[in-house]
Every structure is written in structure tokens, then in C-alpha cells.
Amino acid sequence: MSTDPARGRFFLLAATRLGGAVLLMLGLVATSGRFAGLPREAGLVLALAGAFGFAIAPRLLARRWRSPPE
């Protein structure tokens, strides 16, 4: 097996985006009132957390892993 850290980082970025998209969709469904188990406020929190996980978290991770300039 390869011990290349870029491979693991790539999969972590993809999982972060996928998880964020799933949370965002679940939050939007709960906010619309079509998901019986969650109140609308919880749907809003899920949607905001999903948007953060989809759009912002991968950028923060990539910035953290960036090589320092020489």
C-alpha cells in the first residue's frame, strides 16, 4: 500500500463534502416540514452545518495542509 498522505487527504476532503451535502439536504427537508421527526429549528441548524461542511470546511483543511512557501 502507498503511504502517500495526499491520498488520505483527498478522501477526507471528499468525505467532508459528501457529509456536508447530506446534512444540507436533510436540513432542507426538515425545514420544509416534510421530515416528521425533526422540528424546523433543528432543520435550520442541520442545513447551516451542512453548508459549512460542504463549502467552508474543505477549504480550511486544504489551507491547513498547504506546504509552506520556500
Q: Is 51 inside any structural domain? A: yes
Cell of 65: 495542509
Q: Is 69 inside any structural domain? A: no
Answer yes or no: are the C-beta atoms of 33 and 40 closer than 8 Å.
Answer: yes
Q: Is 29 inside any structural domain? A: yes
Per-residue pLDDT reduced to its tens digit, 3-59 = 888 899 999 999 999 999 999 999 999 999 887 788 889 999 999 999 999 999 999
| Model confidence, pTM | 0.83
Q: Is 32 inside any structural domain? A: yes
Q: Is 20 inside any structural domain? A: yes
Q: Is 10 inside any structural domain? A: no
Domain count, the chain: 1
The backbone torsions φ and ψ at residue 34, rounded to the nearest 5 degrees and listed phi first, read -95, -5
Q: Which domain holds residue 42?
A: 16-64
Q: Is 3 inside any structural domain? A: no
